[in-house]
Structure 1
Amino acid sequence: MLVTAMLLGTSLPANAAAAQGPPAAAAQATAVREPECIWPGNAWLNPQFYWRNVIGARLGEGVIHESSSPNPFGGWIAPGSTFAFRWRPETTRNPIGAQYHVHRVNLASVMAVADVEWVAGPGTLTGTTLSAQETPPQKLGDTVVKFRIRPGTEGRTATLSSADHSLTTRWLFANINNLWENFGSISFTVASRASLGCGSSSVLG
């Protein structure tokens, strides 16, 4: 079914997702932290997006590159363990006349079980939303968010889905809406160190 992609809307300010400065130093721990305890997974989610006009012709497209190191998605991770989430939106073909794109991903589910230790790169984390402005022809670099799993969250699951992503494009004097080409979700579960077989060892798998 054809979907009209060009809809009028209010514009976003040019600095709506301005790059933030170098990450602040993580707070010093007052207690010795236990070794990392992660059973890595291999689940990944790279949502693809595109624009099209009323007759169905594509105006442009792109992809959101996402990865984690080590990767808990599809696996298990114990409280106190950390992982780095890497995020990079990339428009591979811009709609003619596009001025900028504002990409967003809602990390609420992950942040319900994990604390943010630092953020580095062009993205800005406001509340639970990570956003970045892509201004053609410049390309965005990676934004990295380091998470530490919060104590007391054993048994809870964190999910990241295509529905958590959104994009606003400023085109000439209006905004145009994009469409998502693939849908899916990935998740990880917080488990106790004992259930993962962690003693003094670190990453499993």
Structure 2
Amino acid sequence: MYEAGNTAAGRDRGTAVPVPRMWRRPRGAWGLVGLVAAVLLGTSLPANAAAAQGQPVAAVQAAPAAVDPECVQPGNARLSPRFYWRNVFGVRLGEGVIHESSSPNPFGGRIAPGSTFTFRWRPETTRNPVGSQYHIHRVNLASVMAVADVESVTGPGSFAGTTLSVQETPPHKLGDTVVRFRIRPGTEGRTATLSSADHSLTTRWLFTNINNLWENSGSISFTVASRASLGCTSSSVLG
């Protein structure tokens, strides 16, 4: 019996008993670690939830301020200068017109800061001088841009400083150039003017430049007024 207990099999059975005991201790340690982690996770959840709830507030604070509604008292003043060329004998060589319009039209009326309007501009040569290669049309909008910012420009025209220009190449016809303006804050009481004198035209003709003559002259203007003086609270364009 004594010898049997000291056999290899007996020794194996004797040494096999402590093995499970060695693995019980880590499982107990891992259980303790899991308990601590659960407690820590439970205490961190309210803070994360509060942070998540705080995100929409930050997004609202970062949102841009609402834009004031349009406030325009439209006018009916328009300016469409006509031009022509003539030779030394006074005979007309060609002619055309500058089509201009605004919507809503502040010219002849009043407009409040923050409001917008579109300016449409389209030079058209109705009869070209024989031998003309191209025409370069320009309009200086410095007076308007002194009280308004350019928000967008679409069409064939482009700006260089305060001058809008376009090239017309016969027989090709130009489309409208549309400029969107927004009246700047702090410009109440100021007047913007557009006149025939703000227009110019240069024609390339037989390798030389010839200047045109303006058939009609005039000017149109609008005034920047406060919203209160226009009676605007939340309405848009006035009648």
1:34-53 equivalence runs, <5 A: 34-53=68-87
State the shift of 1:173 in Å.
Answer: 1.1
Q: Greater helix percent: which structure?
A: 2
Within 5 Å, which residues of 2 pair with 1:7-18? none
- Is 1:92 matched with 2:123? no
Aligned partner of 1:141 in structure 2 is: 175
1:58: which partner in 2? 92
TM-score, scaled relative to structure 2: 0.73
AA partner of residue 151 (structure 2)? E
Matched, 1:32 2:58: no
Distance, in Å, in 2 between the alignment partners of 1:158 and 1:31 is 27
What does the per-residue CA deviation read over 1:81-137, in whole Å, with 9 as the maximum and x for residues that have no partner?
000000000000000000000000000000000000000000011110000000000
Alignment-derived partner of residue 108 in structure 1:
142
Separation (CA, whole Å) in 2 of partners of 1:102 and 1:73: 26
Give the equivalent residue in structure 1 for 2:115. Answer: 81
Identical columns (%): 85
1:17 aligned residue: none
Deviation readout 1:52-72 (Å, 9 max, x if unpaired): 000000000000000000000
Could you say which structure has the larger radius of gyration?
Answer: 2
Q: Which has the higher contact order (CA 8 A, sep 6+)?
A: 1
1:170 maps to a residue whose letter is R
| SS of residue in 2 equivalent to 1:87 | strand
5+ residue gaps, structure 2, are 1-62
- For residue 195 of structure 1, the aligned residue among 229, 232, 236 is 229
The count of residues paired between Structure 1 and Structure 2 equals 177
CA distance in 1, matches of 2:104, 2:75: 9
Distance apart, 1:172 and its partner CA: 1.0
> Greater strand percent: which structure?
1
Q: Aligned-pair distance for 1:30?
A: 2.6
* Runs of 4 or more consecutive aligned structure 1 residues displaced over 6 Å after TM superposition: none
- Alignment correspondent of 1:4: none
Question: 1:141 Cα deviation (Å)?
Answer: 0.3
Q: Counterpart in 2 of 1:163?
A: 197
TM-score, normalised by the number of residues in structure 1: 0.86
1:169-190 superposed Cα distances (whole Å, 9 cap, x missing partner): 0001100110000000000000
Q: Which stretches in structure 1 are left out of the alignment for 5+ residues?
A: 1-28
**Residue identity opposite 1:146 in structure 2:** R
